[in-house]
Structure 1
Amino acid sequence: MRPPRPAALLTALLVPVVLLLAGCSSSGAAPVSGSAPTSTAAIAQPPVVVAVTDPGAEPRVVLGRSTPTGTTQLVQLGTTSQVLQTVGPDPQQDLSTPDLTLPLTATVPADGAVALTLGTPTASDPILSGALAPAEGSTAGLTVRTSGAVDELRITPAAGLDDAARAAVEQGLRQAVQLAPVLPSDPVGTGAVWTTTQVIDSLGLQIDQVTTTTLTAVAGSTLTLTLAITQTPETATWTLPDGGGTLNVDAYPVTGSGTLTVDTAQPLPTAGTLRLGGDQVYSDPGSALRLRQSVRSTVTWTS
Structure 2
Amino acid sequence: MRDITGYFSSAVLVLVLAACDDDPAVSADDCAGPPEVTVTEPGAEPHEIMEHSPTAGDTATLDMRTTTEISAEVDGDRVPASPVPPMLLGMELTVDEVGDDEIAMSFVYDYGETPGGDPAVQRVLDSLVGVSGSVTTTRSGAFVDGGIDEGDLDPAMSEMVDQLEQQLAQLTIPLPAEPVGVGAAWEAASSVEIDGVTTCNFTTYRLAEFDGDDYELEVGIDQQIVPATVQEGSASVEIIEGEGHGTGRNGGSLSLPIAVSGTSEATTRMRMNVEQGGTEQEQELTVDVELEISPRE
TM-score normalized by the length of structure 1: 0.74
1:184-263 mapped onto 2 (5 Å cutoff): 184-201=176-193, 204-233=196-225, 238-242=227-231, 244=236, 246=238, 248-249=240-241, 252-263=242-253
C-alpha distance in 2, partners of 1:95/1:289? Answer: 19
More strand by share: 2
Q: Distance in 2 between matches of 1:172 and 1:246?
A: 24
Compared with structure 1, are the counterparts of its residues 129 and 70 closer, same or farther at alpha carbon in structure 2 (3 Å cutoff)? same
Structure 2 match to 1:147 = 140
Deviations 1:53-91 (A, max 9, x none): 111111111111111111111111233444322111434
Cα deviation for residue 163 of structure 1 reads 4.1
Partner SS, residue 175 of structure 1? helix
**Can you list the C-alpha shifts for 1:213-264, whole angstroms capped at 9, x where unaligned?**
0001112410000001111345xxx231139374543xx4410001001111
Question: 2-side partners of 1:247 and 1:43: how far apart?
Answer: 21
State the match for 1:292 in structure 2. Answer: 284
C-alpha displacement of 1:154: 2.0
Q: 1:156 aligns with which of 138, 141, 149?
A: 149
Cα-Cα RMSD: 2.8
The answer on whether the counterparts of 2:137 and 2:172 sit within 8 Å (CA) in structure 1 is: no
Divergent runs of 4+, >6 A: none
Cα distance change of structure 1 residues 204 and 117 upon mapping to structure 2, 3 Å threshold: closer
- On the 8 A contact 2:230/2:238 being kept in 1, the answer is no
2:39–2:187: 8 Å Cα contact kept in structure 1? yes
Unmatched tracts of structure 1, length 5 or more: 1-39
- Unpaired runs of 5+ residues, structure 2, are 8-33, 275-279
2:125 is aligned with what amino acid? Answer: L
Does residue 271 in structure 1 map to residue 295 in structure 2? no
Mark the CA change 1:96 to 1:56 in structure 2 (over 3 Å): closer, same or farther.
Answer: farther
Please give the TM-score of this superposition, normalised by the length of structure 2. 0.75
Partner SS for 1:132: helix
Change (3 A) 1:108 1:48: same
Number of residue pairs aligned between Structure 1 and Structure 2: 255
1:72–1:108 Cα contact (<8 Å) kept = yes
Measured at CA, do residues 97 and 158 of structure 1 come closer, stay the same or move farther in structure 2, by a change above 3 Å? farther
